[in-house]
Copies of this chain bind each other. A is one copy, B any other.
Amino acid sequence: MKERFERYKKLIISELEDFFSEKYTGNNSINEWGPDLAARLKDFVSTGKMIRGCFVLASYDMFKGRIDSEAIKVASAIELLHSALLIHDDVIDKDELRRGKKTIFSQYEDIGKKEVFPESRHFGYSMAICAGDICIAHVFGILGNLNVESDKKKRVISLFSDGLDWTGLAEMDDVYLGFTKKDPEEERIMNVYQYKTAKYTYSVPMMAGAILAGADDETINLIDELGGKIGIIFQIKDDELGIFGDEEEIGKPVGSDIAENKKTLFRLLLFESASDKEKEELENIFGKKEIGKEEVNYVRGLIEKNKILDETSRRIDSLDADAKRILHELKIDKESKDFFREFMDYNIHRKK
């Protein structure tokens, strides 16, 4: 599986390099910010896991038995869409680190600091808002120019548009839930997981690959469902790594979700199981700007004491069982099923 992903990743990176070198080199850019952004994006994209792009190719490969140029373009497009969303997300969350490197707004903020701008932070935010928009422009520019049957193109563009719509709306709810004092029900948290993460990380890429490869509607629906299950597991694991992970491995400060008071499943279960005294303590920690080792350790301790990981594992197991049932139904060859099983295993046990 790893080898396959590495192969896919190389294809996508090379496609994106070609794209940007054509787009902004020589007289092709209207100003200096084009090549500047292209260099930052190339770097930004290539340090990611590229799960989304790889899943476009894995899905296409599964149904078509090969990879071709148009599938690689769609894979690059989803990675650009992901970059756009991360660039905007980092402004929203004020995150200065991503994948162990400075986020895009933080890079532009540094330019502002160098020139001693009075509000270099807002300069960084502003440039990053534009950068994200430009990324989205490229996404649809690439899709519009695909050399595939017009019905496939139409469906892929629709899928990307819906994906961006859903992710944006779920992000709005996630932002709201991060600010409000109201505690959401589990159902609402799951809705955010479904639409902010699962749909666009797994369902959309796999569906795009399947549409391009000409898979039938029943298969595409199954793949949509499968992606939903894998994606929610992915998000629960992401939350877990945000508390228990290794800072170097996950590329962002441990405890940042706690500082942002993200309404995660962990937080919900923790508050539900806590005593009044513990709740009071937790309320002082969640949403606190600076989360130190001590606070992270307190939260970790309480999660262990109250067996929250057993609770989340139960949910993961149930989602995993659903996913396996769907996988069984899918009309794909044994090799592809093995690939999925291996990925699902990695997804549950990953450390980053």
The reply to whether A165 and B141 contact each other, CB–CB distance below 8 Å, is yes
- Is A137 in the interface zone, CB < 8 Å from B? yes
**Are B144's CB and A158's CB within 8 A?**
yes
- Any B CB within 8 A of the CB of A29: yes
**Interface positions of A from 121 to 175, Cβ below 8 Å from B:** 122-123, 125-127, 129-134, 136-138, 140-141, 143-145, 150, 153-154, 157-158, 160-166, 168-173, 175
Nearest B residue to A94, CB-CB: B122
A138 partner residues in chain B, CB cutoff 8 A: 161, 165
Q: Is there an interface contact between B168 and A112, defined as CB atoms closer than 8 Å?
A: no
A172 touches B137 (CB 8 A): no
Shortest CB–CB separation between residue A58 and chain B, in angstroms? 24
CB pair B179 A112 closer than 8 Å: yes
Q: Quick check: is A91 within 8 A (CB to CB) of the other chain?
A: yes
- Give the complex CA separation of A131 and B92 in angstroms: 12
Between A and B, 29 residue pairs with Cβ closer than 8 Å are A29-B169, A30-B169, A31-B191, A37-B172, A84-B133, A88-B129, A91-B125, A92-B130, A94-B122, A115-B179, A115-B180, A117-B180, A123-B176, A126-B175, A127-B172, A127-B175, A130-B169, A130-B175, A133-B168, A137-B161, A137-B168, A138-B165, A140-B161, A141-B158, A141-B165, A143-B144, A143-B157, A144-B154, A150-B150
Q: Which 3 A-B pairs have the closest CB atoms?
A: A144-B157, A141-B161, A137-B164
| Chain A residues near B (Cβ < 8 Å) | 29-34, 37, 84-85, 88, 91-92, 94, 112, 115, 117-119, 122-123, 125-127, 129-134, 136-138, 140-141, 143-145, 150, 153-154, 157-158, 160-166, 168-173, 175-176, 179-181, 191, 194-195
